[in-house]
Chain A
C-alpha cells in the first residue's frame, strides 16, 4: 500500500492534528494549518479524524498509486485529477492501482488536504506523524516531499465514492478575510490611536507567510506608549522581557508588520504581542493566499469561547452526516 511521488509540488508535508505537549521545551504543535479541512478529508475516506494526510500548499503534488484506495481532497480549491480526469473536491473518490493523482491550478484558498484511506503511514514521533521541517522532526524523514519518495499508507475500510461535505458546512476566508482576535496582556504598550488603527486598517498577507507565522503588511505604523525599558527587555519599544508566545499570538516587531504565529512557531521571545487570534479562526489563516486583504476584529473572551463551541458543533454535524 504505497504512493510514489512523481512531482512533489511546492511544499507538501505529512500532517495530522499535531504534536501538543512539547511547546514549553521549544517543539511546536505542528499539524495541519487547517485542521477542520484535515478532519473532513479523513472522514470522507472512512478514516479516523486525526490520521495523517498530505498538506499541499499552493500547488498539488503528482502521486502514483501502487494499490487501490479511497481519496478525498478538502481545504483550498485545488482541483484533483485521476489520470487527467477531474474529480470533485470535498468528495470521496476511488483510485486504482497504477492511477496517477495530479492537480489543476489552485482556484481558492491556500492549502489542500489529501486524505488516503488508511492514512499516511510514517513513524509516530513524540505522539504525532506531523512534519516539523525546521526541526527535521516527524513526517516523511522530517522534510517536505521530494520527487521519487515512496509513502506507505495503511489498510483502511475506505468509503463509498461520492461521500461529500455539504457546501454550506465547508469553510474558507472571505475577502477581506476577517480574523477575530482577543486583545492581550501587552495591549497597554500601544497608544489608543494605534489600537484603533490596528483594528481599522486593512492588512495584506505578505508573500513570506508560512507555517511558522503569517506576516501582514500595509497598515499604519503602530505607535508605542513611552517607557523606560524594564531590565531584560531590548531597547526597541516593541521589546519585552522574554515571554511565552502562544499559538495564534500577534506580535508586531518595531510596530510595522503584525505576525500571527501558527503551527510551526517558536515558543517564546522578546516581542510584545497585541493579542491572539481566536482558536476558531486559526484554520482560516491556513487558507490565506499572499496579498489577501485581511481585517482584525476584537472580540471578548466570552465571544471567543462561543465561536469555539460553534465550530465544534459544525464538526459534530458533519460527523452525523457521514
Chain B
C-alpha cells in the first residue's frame, strides 16, 4: 500500500508559506521526518503540517487552498 501523509486538522490547506512564495515541496522532492509540507488554516491560526514519514513525493492528493478534513491524505510517497 502506498504511504500517505495525512492532514492532522480540518481546515484549508496551503502548499506555500505566502501567496507570492514558492511551494514548500513539489512532486519528486525527497522529504525527511519533520519537514514542513504545507499549512492548515483553521480558527484564525495557521498550523504547519510536518511529516511523520520520510520518502519521495509521488503526488499531492490535495490542492492548494482546498478544504481538508482531519485524517485526509495530503500527499502520496513513492
Contact = CB atoms under 8 A, between A and B. Distances in A.
Interface string A91-134: 00000000000000111001000000000000000000000000
B71 A105 contact: yes
Tell me what chain A mostly uses at the interface: helix, strand, loop, or mixed: loop
Interface centre among A10, A207, A208, A291 (most CB of B within 10 A): A207
Given A59-B8, A106-B10, A290 B71 contact: no
Contacts, number: 48
Interface of A: 10-11, 57-59, 105-107, 110, 207-210, 289-291
A284 to B, nearest CB: 16
Interface residues of B, number: 16
Interface stretch (B17-25, B27-35, B41-49): B41-49
A290 B67 contact: yes
B44 A210 contact: yes
Contacts of B47: 10
A105 B43 contact: no
B11 A207 contact: yes
A61 B6 CA distance: 17
Nearest to B6: A105
A245 B45 CA distance: 25
Interface string B34-78: 000000011111010000000000000000000101110000000
A290 B70 contact: no
Contacts of B41: 207
Given A289-B10, A290-B10, A57 B43 contact: yes
A105 B70 contact: yes
A258 B47 CA distance: 25
Given A105-B71, A210-B43, A290 B12 contact: yes
Contacts of B12: 207, 290
Contact of B10 (A11, A208, A210, A291): A291
B44 A290 contact: no
Contacts of B11: 58, 207, 290
Contact of A106 (B44, B67, B70): B70
Given A58-B9, A290-B10, A290-B12, A106 B71 contact: yes
Contacts of B70: 58-59, 105-107, 289
B71 A207 contact: no
Given A207-B43, A208-B43, A210-B44, A107 B71 contact: yes
A208 B67 contact: no
Contacts of A105: 6, 8, 70-71
